[in-house]
Structures are given as C-alpha cells and as structure tokens.
Structure 1
C-alpha cells in the first residue's frame, strides 16, 4: 500500500510539473483547452482521481479555469495592482544604515493543525516546522517573524540550524520559489507581539503575510509584524498600456 501511495505521489508531481511547464513556457497559450481528465489518466497510466487532484491544484493556483462539460482551459493573465519583491530583511535593515541582528525565539516540528491547513492549503498528514523570530535594526526590534515551513516538501528543514541563520535567507538559498502571494493589513499588537517589539499592547502595526509555492507545492507561510511608526511599505508599479 505504501509503495502504491508513493507511486501516486510521484505521478501527481510529474503531471503537475509537465502541465505547469507547458503553460509557463507558452507552449499552451491562454485559452488553450487541456486534454480531458480521462485522456490524461490514460496518457500517464494513473487513476482519474490523481489527475483530478492535479487539475484542482492548477485551478487554485490560477493557471487554469475549469468549466463543467466544456473542460479545462489555460487562464488569461490577470493584471496585478502592485508587485512586491521577496526581500531579505537583513538587506532592508542595512539599507537604513543600521546594524542587523536576529534571534530565534521558538522552534517546533509537528503535524499540520486545522489552522495550518487553512493558511497553507495542505493536508493533515503534512509535517511543519514552526518558528518565531525577531529581527533587529540597531538595538530596536525591527519586526517579528512567525513562520511555518512545509517539512514534507522541504525535508532538509528538519536538520536546518536557525539559531544564527534566518529562515527566510535559508529558504531563498534552498528552494526556488515559483509563485508568491502577499496579504497586507493594519492590526493592533497582541500581547506576545507587543513584548517582542517593545511596544504597548494594541499599538498599531503593519502586517505582511506571505505564502510561497514551488512548482505548485506550498512551501511556506510567514507573517511579518512591524511597528506601525517605524515601517513604510513601498510598491513600484507601472500603468497598464
């Protein structure tokens, strides 16, 4: 049974990779109708359920659109209001002319909880490494980092030493990301975050949440919380033409 599951997982990743590469390379243009699930299952000699899971992931990532009876089509590209880079916090701090420091506060490894599954779109069998870190600019806390890393997708994380190396830097070197999503909001500091940032509970903070994927596999979810009076978020973009 275990060998069967491993085979299905390997086929799942192969189909994902094959279809994604055809779309990203432009071989399958926007509007192109993908082969039907039954035909893909026959082509890859796998169950239709495996193909259906692949198509569901592709639809969630925005690469395809599924239409009942008509089939699945490569999505039309959607304009974004702004594009934010995945930046290195150490570089950001040093650009201010301040010395950078980092501290790992907590680390644990466990099975994905209901909240983890909601945040990262993963299943209950997924193992995660959960981290709490504080980044400093000079003597003042710059931001609090709360991060979950998919250990099932990045097994090396179980042995990674984050005592001196920030997880963001480690991930950028370890795993090439293909897709990222940002969510930005203003919040009041919780008691725990307030202690870490050296501010009063309820103080205005800027929160940036990010999810990243590599070849459609969820890699990490991270929340950066910055003191509202010490951080400005800037996005550079160009007008639609």
Structure 2
C-alpha cells in the first residue's frame, strides 16, 4: 500500500510539472483545451483521482479553467498595472510566470509634425524618434507600444539600438524625469493594432497614454494598447488630510 501511495505521489508531481511546463512555456496557449482526465490517466498509467487532484491544483493556481462537460482550458493571464507608476513591461510579463519577448517593428527619425505639437508641445522641426513595437507573453502578444521620443531632449536616442532594448527600459535607465501623466481609455482595435495583437478588428482594448517631462520639456509620449480582457489597472491611494 505504501509503495502504491508513493507511486501515485510521484506520478502526481510528474503530471503537474509537465502540464505546468507546457502552459508556462506557451506550448499550450491560453484557450487551449487540455486532454480529458480519462485520457491523461491512460497516458500516465494512473488513477483518474490522481489526475483530478492535479487539475484542481492547476485551477487553484490560476493556470487553467475547468468547465463541466466541456473540459479544462488554459486560462488567459490577467495582468495588472499600477496607475500611478511607470512600470517595466518585462516585469509585468514575468510576474505572470510567462517568458517575455520583444520585437521592434519600426523606427525612424523625423521632424515634429502637428500631432507631435498637440501630444508633446513640441515646436516645429524638433527632431523626433518614432517607434513601434510588440511585447509578448509566451506565444501571445501582450501589448503594442507606439512611442515618440523628443530627440532634442534626449539626443542619445538617435543612436540607441532599440531592436535589442525596449525604449521604455532604455529611457528609465538613461533619462531623469520629474513629472508623468497617464490617460486611460477603452478603444476598439484598429486594423493595424488588431493585426499586431492577433485579435479581430474592433476588439475591446485598453489604451494607456503616458507623457513624461523633465523640468525643461517633454521627454516622451507612449501609447500602450492591451487586449481589454487581459489587463487590469490598479491604483492605491490615501485620503488627503481632513477628508473622509
């Protein structure tokens, strides 16, 4: 009896480790239906009860969702951002237990246009670095980054290799800022954003627009667009003195 109990415990850990590894690595992407419990029990040569315990543990850990009759599915990670902070997207992804990847899609230096004047209060002809990138969590796109950097305030940006280092990480490490502003809204995915996020056009998304300033001028404007069902914003604050 003790040997059988020990064997079941070992199989439990084996099944748990293998399934968890496939989910965390992205091999089994969000929405993927796992094999049914009877199939897994047959595959591993164990009791269905052992498999059921594994599934319960995975569900409690937030890795899968169990639906009666339909089966078990890989749960889509739900990320959280602090509204009042400038955060590192790689840290966000890693906090979900997923591998992070980044790809620069476009980068160009140009002169400020009317939209830059509106978004960043830049005079005409100010040099601007414009970038487009996608951040990934496992095998799925996590968010699209559309960024403009004031190259007069940050001339080093013109020579930076943003194909290897995300611009947000680079700016946090290189450029001091004194003020930041977040603007948050729900948007429908445009054809371009939908393509980069691998979602249908018009999908509800969460857009965070951020401006940061040095004491002298605007440093950068960035728009981060996330699939709306996979991201939550969190704010923690205290009441002002004398308020209820």
Please classify the TM superposition score into its range, dividing by the shorter chain length: 0.5 to 0.7
- Cα distance between partner residues in 2 of 1:147 and 1:182: 14
1:161 to partner: Cα distance? 0.1
Q: Is 1:99 aligned with 2:99?
A: yes
What's 2:133 paired with? 133
Q: TM-score, normalised by structure 2?
A: 0.64
Residues 74-113 of structure 1 aligned to structure 2 (within 5 Å) = 84-113=84-113
Mapped pair 1:198 → 2:227:
no
Equivalent residue, structure 1, for 2:22: none
Asked whether 1:180 is paired with 2:193, we answer: no
Shift of 1:83: 5.7
State the Cα distance separating 1:235 from its structure 2 match: 1.0
Cα deviation, 1:102-141, whole Å, max 9, x if unaligned, reads 0000111100010011100110021000000000011100
Maintained 8 Å contact 1:179/1:216: no
Question: Are 2:145 and 2:225, in contact at CA under 8 Å, matched by a contact in 1?
Answer: yes
Equivalent residues in 2 for 1:52-71, closer than 5 Å: none
Question: Which segments of 5 or more consecutive residues in structure 1 lack a partner in the other structure?
Answer: 1-81
Work out the CA distance in 1 between the residues paired with 2:208 and 2:120.
Answer: 15
TM-score by length of 1: 0.65
Contact between 2:83 and 2:234, CA under 8 Å: does it hold in 1?
no
Match of 1:115 in 2: 115
Instruction: Answer with 1 or 2: which has the greater Rg.
Output: 2
Q: Is the 8 A contact 1:83 1:237 kept in 2?
A: no
Matches within 5 A, 1:144-183: 144-183=144-183
- Structure 2, unaligned stretches of length 5 or more? 1-81
CA contact (8 A) 2:183 2:209 kept: yes
- Residues 125-176 of structure 1: per-residue CA shift (max 9 Å, x gap): 2100000000001110000000000001100001000111000000011101
Measured against aligned partners, the alpha-carbon deviations of 1:198-218 in whole angstroms (never above 9, x if no partner) come to 000000000000000011311
Count of residues in correspondence between the two structures? 160
User: Could you say what the CA RMSD is over the residues aligned between the two structures, in angstroms?
Assistant: 1.1
